[in-house]
Structure 1
């Protein structure tokens, strides 16, 4: 393992030049003696502002890497933080090209051995895989957290071909506001305002881009490393959370990569594992160091002998709204895929079919979905799903007999159905629930499917009304123990607001009696697993930062006079202050999702954001408003941004777009 911790020095503002003249800013933590005893580098490359946005989080990891004998490097991407340029979209080719230049620059520094690893969560996890697929010789190990190898399948834009109403506009709105935050005058100099206004003028809202690509086309294939798994030759440690929708990528990477790969999935949401909520968390820094020590320092840390997958299996006794440690156990699955998991096929029987062989009829005007919580969760209890009984009552459901013994589920469940629709555009939402002995229905996992799409989501065709189709709806990968006495439930609906944007017309979907109707349930043989252990989570180093706790609100209202169901989510980000130089950052967001289930064209999403950055007598504020709605043929988008310096407006713009619907 790594040697005794080294004293660490911090280079706060380092400029890395690109070939086109653009400069990227970095913060670097180094062992004191790195100039005379070079070390490998660990790179985190994201657009979230190293000086304030992620400063506290960075301090929980990177000094530990430096103390363990690495150059820990946190780079703001082009168009973010104090770096030059503009960021025109997520995961653009220039982002990956810049990363290659950063890797070459790092390898050439006198304090670096020339060997580099990449580490990151979410965006940084995505681009770690994307850059590795380009096979730069400097990049010799990747730790990817809460990311995906398929940008269309399970990112915040579409899933199962359904448009994610709860995520697409909110994320675009967030990026519009975050991209609008200014450079720091203390870093870039007196022309900071000129740079800021130029960035505001040139950086577009992203929602319009994403909405013009409603099928899985070349736009989404770019940056999706699952298109060519063989391109990934660097060893990959893939980390996910059971409360995070990207967790399926961990299973796919284990199944498709030829390079050394291991998986780690805990109970947490979209978080680093050492900051896990819900817990229990793990010593993520220690796990990353084991990986990097093996592949950047050639130290035998035992990672090659780890089970293919280490995963937390929670018990089915979780109280909604709880952010404390979940009950359950860690298991190590020696091989993935392997004999420890067997797929069971359980026939669905939602009721006796009538003389025409019809088991059930579902309508998309049923008020279903608001109990599902947030699709993308960050660990705050307000995002948790709540009791599903109300949604279950409006769904086609099969509830199996009480279990005589505990049943462990691990993998990707799927539901196969024989269905027909009375309209040309329709979708399905399928939920797997754990029904407790008191009747509480706990959401385990779910999946969406646009019925007009082919299996690859590359083409869409009108459904023939009345024609029967056999479809399979994959659910998001999961791990869960159904306790003895509990019951497994499958619930199917034709709508799921606000996760899925409604079909343009009220749809009636018929489930036809068929031997094909079944739940495919991956079950775990507990006799073929091990029990992994983890070290204690490391204490955060002392810094000059304070961060107030975030505050979250979520309320759902049902207006019985108008029929509208409205979900409002409010987040107040805790104020960050760097007491060493007085810089502060704070912000808030509010998302409102409203729809009358009886009128699918009433659906609308409205997002507001405010971001404040300041120091002393200098303060900037960015405010954004975004709205998305639709008629039968088009989506309507409006984005508005206002920027102020010390209370005086310096920039404002409104963007409006009408974009044709394509079987959504």
Structure 2
């Protein structure tokens, strides 16, 4: 099929039934009014004009050339859309998405078939909207998403409090505080901006009000009812990202209507993600849309159920441009066979011990700053946002490892740890890490899992935490994150256990230790099993992102500082996007993020996090700025939350708002 020419509609408004106007950017194949085309819809709060424009311009033009319209809409209260956002994946958001799909099908240029797509927020809500079954929605592509909003997102993980919850609340405060573009909305931009600033919520207050897996988190978690999703779903993820579990969970929950693709990537679209190798995402997507939106017989329905990149002996950050490994396919996915490991004479072994006298119990209480080598929960760059050499964290952990391997060990799936332990407080956090120890001693984190021991009973669905019994060992099952990995001959397999994983995981209110029975440890590794080695097509364009005008360069830093006199550890993140101008809109934008976490390694209630953003928008003589700041601290019984936002027009302050709240801790 020859490429079609297309037109970009930079901004158009869709008026919802309640009168709210939502702003859309569209890529329209020429001649669609007389020869209607399918449409792909993406629904985000990240600002189509200056937030996601780069990735949109790498993807939607390729769809349009293939005769597929792209409809990129900003959620209410973001970009040029009216109103104020009311949270993540709310009933209103999803209802608006259903209404927008109906609007698309009524347009003369649409053939009546719609697909929905997205990464992260857009990957979440396309699956959530699919579960509502709007009749015109025929297929989805979900990238870096989740099916379980409590256990597998940026808020909580198996009852543990993720530090990225504060980071993301500050990020959303910064995103939602930005002004609409006057060039697109006209003279009303200032009134829209002030209304948004006055009414926008600070999300962390709501998230911390729900510290267990209650109905708030069950809403829009499609794992509650996979059968509600009745349309074909392609689910993608990267091993270097925090959302690596979803493809497996999707094909296990929807085996007859989903396909999985997992690469080595960070939290980016696969055609421009790092580490390489990349995948031809636009080609994959076009085939998927043509099959399900045009009924084209192109084999997309016969794709293997699982395609995955098996990492092979990779070295950790500071930067990973290319990860060695190989692609495999499994036509049908099933629960992997496992190979169990045990602790025998202080070593990790594939043979169970038969000692008549079991090994002595071991007491573990990690320094509270154990975890600074963990990287960030979801990663945007292939540098130290990813986990670095694990030897520093392993020094504060209980470690067992094998002798050097004689043959390779290939894994694909989720490792599972079973261990008997006793806690000397009501609960503790437990972190388990699977580590590849290279012959030179370099330690690469392959997988990790965390568990708040008060949430140890999955039968209670994590909404009814229970204190640990005293003076009694309990068998704990901890499922680690999915991995695809080859341990090479000469390498060693290490298991590391710690009671801290800071700052990724925030500590409980007491510095608890664990008494662990090494003889009880059973560590099940998911074997790769039968598979076919395949090739996955690389993108034709090795650098698909557009080039914008640089006025100030970007800069990024990660640092750890230990003040030995004050006994304080400080973890600092600094991100400056640089000042870049879009050559067409002439809008120049810059964002600076600074985030700092501090803790006294002997006092869990000394923990403190601060996240700040400065966001600039400029065009000619017009300029606006917002400064946003959020803080989280605690004592034994409470979380203390505060935030503020200040807005400036031409360097003159025009608005200020503050939030401050105390929220009781609930087994957290």
* Pairwise same-fold verdict (TM > 0.5): yes
Partner of 1:94: 92
For 1:254 and 1:54, locate their aligned partners in 2 and report how far apart those are by CA, in whole Å: 28
Q: 1:619 to 1:220 in 2, by over 3 A?
A: same
1:60 to 58, 61, 71: 58
- Whole-Å Cα distance in 2 between the matches of residues 91 and 640 of structure 1? 24
1:587 equivalent among 584, 591, 602: 591
Shift of 1:388: 1.2
Report the TM-score, using the length of structure 1 for normalisation: 0.96
Return the offset for 1:398. 1.3
State the match for 1:607 in structure 2: 611
Pairwise mapping of residues 244-255 of structure 1 onto structure 2 (< 5 A)?
A: 244-255=241-252
Quote the Cα distance in structure 2 between the aligned partners of 1:607 and 1:8: 42
1:63: Cα distance to partner?
Answer: 0.7
Q: Where does 1:277-426 land on structure 2 (aligned, <5 Å)?
A: 277-337=274-334, 341-349=336-344, 351=346, 358-365=360-367, 367-426=369-428
Instruction: Pick the aligned partner of 1:486 from 487, 491, 505.
Output: 491
CA distance in 1 between partners of 2:77 and 2:486 (Å): 45
1: CA distance between counterparts of 2:393 and 2:133?
A: 47
SS at match of 1:250: helix
Contact 1:233 1:259 in 2 (8 A): no
- Residue number among 628, 631, 638 corresponding to 1:624 in the alignment: 628
- Which of 519, 527, 534 matches 1:531? 534
Q: Give distance in 2, aligned partners of 1:342 and 1:259.
A: 21
CA distance in 1, matches of 2:115, 2:554: 31
Residue number in structure 2 paired with 1:209:
206
Aligned with residue 40 of structure 2, among 20, 39, 42:
42
Secondary structure in structure 1 of the residue aligned to 2:193: helix
Contact 2:580 2:589 in 1 (8 A): yes
Alpha-carbon distance in 1 for matches of 2:482, 2:219: 24
Q: 1:556 to 1:354 in 2, by over 3 A?
A: farther
For residues 565 and 143 of structure 2, what CA distance do their matches in structure 1 show? 45
Q: Are the equivalent residues in 2 in contact too, given 1:152–1:220 (CA < 8 A)?
A: yes
Aligned to 1:111: 109
TM-score (norm 2): 0.96
Alignment partner of 1:440 is 2:442: yes
Contact 1:9 1:30 survives alignment (8 Å): yes
Moved more, 228-237 or 540-549: 540-549
Size of the aligned set, in residue pairs, is 657
Report matched runs for 1:69-84 at 5 Å.
69-84=67-82
**What is the CA–CA distance in structure 1 between the aligned matches of 2:462 and 2:26, rounded to whole Å?**
42
Task: Quote the offset at 1:373 in angstroms.
Answer: 1.4
Counterpart-to-counterpart distance in 1, 2:102 and 2:471: 59
Offset at residue 605 of structure 1 (A)? 0.5
C-alpha contact (below 8 Å) 2:58/2:545 kept by paired residues: no
**Conserved in 1, the CA contact under 8 Å of 2:436 and 2:444?**
yes
Q: 1:381 to 1:549 in 2, by over 3 A?
A: farther
**CA-atom RMSD, angstroms?**
1.8
Note the alpha carbon deviations across 1:105-131, whole angstroms, 9 max, x for none. Answer: 000100000100001000000000000
How far residue 380 of structure 1 moved from its aligned partner, in angstroms, is 3.6
Deviation of 1:206 (Å): 0.4
Question: What is the CA distance between 1:349 and its match in structure 2?
Answer: 4.4
**Number of the residue aligned with 1:450:** 452
